[in-house]
């Protein structure tokens, strides 16, 4: 029986790790967790479904996803559906989770997965197969995917509620409708098809908003890997390098520390590009005197990290760069202080906006005379046009209701910024200064913990790191 898989993969990291300065050497990465944590999530979902359907029996379906071709016969790296993986920990494509929930919220579950196939496995790697899946991933039973079209219409009979990934893709939708129609065709024999159709995504979103211990552990690891990658990127940056050189450092650091992927396309934005919010790393060569904004994070075992740092290409802030940087840093500190259990999700944003307005007025970058006026007229939006954060989890912009008050176990980003594009209304020394500072905050009983602070934010600490003094 498998529960926590805590096998270390550090021994596979020697090549990359040996090159790192000692203070940047990563902790050993713990392998993905699967088993008991996922079973508990399925049980919690079963209770939520029973409560929602007033105790009427229900079937829950979740699908792992299909491989998608990138070109001709060449697939993209497979990335499982987040809801499916959250509930199962099963990483293979073409798998369906089926849960049966009784009137008391008790559930039995089974996994349909691809059967073993010696011929395909030579090319694509070993499959778990239905013989092993139940024991390894703690399902009541596991069956071959080939059985599902026979079984599903029968399983749906006389089940009033069906929870499924509705409206997620045409392929899934047509699968679900096919099973439902077959079930409905048995009406003349006195059998009933589900009449209440509920969205799996809506139900799981609330659960995913509150991270359990296994998730917090993985998110801390992802955060630590990304923080080290940012440190290395800072140490490498100098005039004459291109944005793609720095992206390569980030990718090497993510994969070299055991992360499977990026959580989103890395933003490496030099000079004028620093004022483009989601500029993807390109070919532009960085110059003395410019800012570099890096917004990049790895995905580890299905969990995202999301960090932004902004720093001078030359390693020394100009007075204007530093002045703007300190305003953004103070805004982030205000957002952090407002990130407390019970507060509205909007509280950190509102706190950050006030400080940004104060700074913009102080630097004479907007004409408003008071913070209230700057907020009321939205004068600050010329330079700060996005919100201060989002939920973070398996998806970088994670699921979850933004009307929920903050509570322990939630993870959100705190990412204020200022983007000063060239404009006749700005002194030229401020042109092309784009600054965002983003950390990942875990809400605790006491306030919040910034889990990404393995990379410095203090301007002096950044200059020291870039100069090799740290
Ligand atoms: N990395 C995308 C974002 O910060 O929202
Ligand atoms: Mn973000
Ligand atoms: Mn980001």
Chain-centroid distance of CA 14 in Å reads 27
Of the residues 438, 439, 440, 463, only one is catalytic, namely 438
Atom of ligand 1 nearest to the CA of 397: 5
Which is more confidently placed, 467 or 8?
467
- Please write the tens of the pLDDT for every residue from 58-71: 999 999 999 999 99
Q: Please, which pLDDT band fits residue 183 given cuts at 50, 70 and 90?
A: very high
Rg (CA), the chain: 25
- Over 80: is that where the pLDDT of 19 sits? no
The top-level CATH class assigned to 36-208 is alpha beta
Q: How many residues does this entry show for the chain? A: 470
Banded model confidence at residue 4, pLDDT cuts 50, 70, 90: very low
Confidence of residue 7 (pLDDT cuts 50, 70, 90): very low
Lining ligand 1 with CB less than 6 A are 264, 295, 306, 390, 396, 415, 438
Q: Report the percent of the chain where pLDDT is more than 70.
A: 93
Residue 375 has a CB neighbour count (10 Å cut-off) of 17
pLDDT in tens, 348-404: 999 999 999 999 999 999 999 999 999 999 999 999 999 999 999 999 999 999 999
Residue 415 falls in the annotated catalytic set: yes
**pTM for this entry:** 0.93
Residue 66 in contact with residue 94, Cβ under 8 Å? yes
Per-residue pLDDT tens for 339-362? 999 999 999 999 999 999 999 999
Mean pLDDT (whole number) for 13-40: 72
* Ligand located closest to 414 CA: 2
Range 45-74 average pLDDT: 95
For ligand 1, atom 3, which residue shows the shortest CA distance?
306
104 catalytically annotated: no
- pLDDT at position 386, please? 98
Q: Which ligand is nearest to the CA of 391?
A: 2
pLDDT tier for residue 25 given thresholds of 50, 70 and 90: low
Q: Specify the pLDDT at position 27.
A: 66
Residues at Cβ < 5 Å from ligand 3 ion: 295, 306, 438
Query: CB–CB of 368/374 below 8 Å?
Result: yes
At residue 316, the 3 state secondary structure works out as: coil
SS3 98: strand
Lookup: tokens for 1? 């029986």
What mean pLDDT, rounded, does the chain reach? Answer: 94
Q: Which atom of ligand 1 approaches the CA of 438 most closely? A: 4
pLDDT at position 5 = 40
Which candidate in 79, 390, 421, 453 is catalytic? Answer: 390
Q: Compute the distance from residue 439 Cα to the ligand 1 centre, in Å.
A: 10
Which residue spans of the chain are classified as CATH 3.90.230.10?
6-25+210-467
HSE value, Cβ hemisphere, 13 Å, CA-based, for 109: 26
Fold of 6-25+210-467: Creatine Amidinohydrolase (3.90.230)
Domain with CATH 3.40.350.10 in the chain: 36-208
In the reported structure, the alpha carbon of residue 176 is separated from the centroid of ligand 1 by a whole-number distance in angstroms of 33
Q: Ligand 1 pocket check: which of 413, 417, 435, 441 to mutate, most ligand atoms within 8 Å of Cβ? A: 413
- Under DSSP, is residue 453 helix (H, G, I), strand (E, B) or coil? coil
Query: Looking only at Cα atoms, what is the longest distance across the chain?
Result: 81
């Amino acid at each position: 029986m498998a529960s926590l898989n805590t096998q270390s993969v550090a021994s596979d990291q020697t090549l990359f790790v040996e090159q790192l300065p000692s203070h940047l050497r990563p902790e050993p990465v713990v392998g993905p967790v699967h088993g008991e944590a996922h079973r508990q999530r399925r049980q919690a979902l079963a209770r939520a479904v029973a409560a929602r359907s007033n105790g009427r029996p229900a079937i829950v379906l979740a699908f792992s996803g299909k491989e998608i071709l990138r070109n001709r016969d060449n697939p993209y790296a497979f990335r499982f559906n987040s809801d499916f993986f959250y509930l199962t920990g099963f990483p293979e494509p073409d798998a369906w989770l089926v849960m049966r929930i009784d009137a008391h919220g008790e559930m039995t579950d089974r996994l349909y997965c691809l059967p073993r196939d010696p011929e395909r496995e030579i090319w694509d790697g070993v499959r778990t197969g239905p013989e092993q899946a139940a024991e390894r991933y703690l399902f009541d039973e596991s069956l071959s995917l080939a059985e599902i079209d026979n079984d599903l219409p029968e399983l749906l009979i006389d089940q009033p509620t069906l929870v499924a990934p509705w409206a997620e893709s045409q392929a899934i939708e047509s699968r679900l409708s096919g099973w439902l129609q077959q079930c409905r065709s048995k009406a003349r024999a006195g059998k009933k098809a589900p009449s209440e159709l509920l969205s799996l995504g809506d139900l799981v979103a609330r659960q995913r908003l509150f991270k359990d211990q296994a998730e917090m552990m993985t998110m801390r690891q992802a955060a630590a890997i990304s923080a080290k990658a940012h440190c290395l990127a800072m140490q490498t940056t100098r005039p004459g390098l291109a944005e793609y050189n720095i992206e390569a450092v980030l990718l090497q650091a993510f994969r070299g520390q055991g992360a499977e992927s990026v959580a989103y396309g890395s933003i490496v934005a030099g000079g004028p590009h620093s004022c483009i919010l989601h500029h993807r790393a390109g070919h532009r060569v960085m110059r003395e005197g410019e800012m570099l904004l890096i917004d990049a994070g790895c995905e580890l075992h299905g969990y995202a990290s999301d960090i932004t740092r902004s720093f001078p290409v030359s390693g020394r802030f100009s007075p204007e760069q530093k002045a703007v940087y300190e305003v953004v840093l103070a805004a982030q500190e205000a957002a952090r202080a407002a990130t407390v259990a019970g507060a509205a999700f909007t509280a950190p944003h509102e706190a950050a906006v006030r400080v940004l307005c104060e700074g913009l007025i102080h630097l004479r970058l907007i004409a408003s005379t008071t913070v209230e006026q700057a907020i009321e007229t939205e004068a600050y939006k010329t330079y700060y046009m996005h919100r201060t954060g989002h939920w973070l989890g398996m998806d970088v912009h994670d699921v979850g209701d933004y009307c929920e008050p903050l509570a322990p176990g939630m993870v959100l980003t705190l990412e204020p910024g200022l983007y000063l594009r060239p404009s006749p209304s700005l002194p030229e020394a401020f042109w092309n200064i784009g600054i965002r500072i983003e950390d990942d905050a875990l809400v605790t009983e006491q306030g919040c913990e910034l889990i990404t602070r393995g990379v410095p934010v203090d301007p002096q600490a950044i200059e020291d790191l870039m100069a090799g003094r740290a």
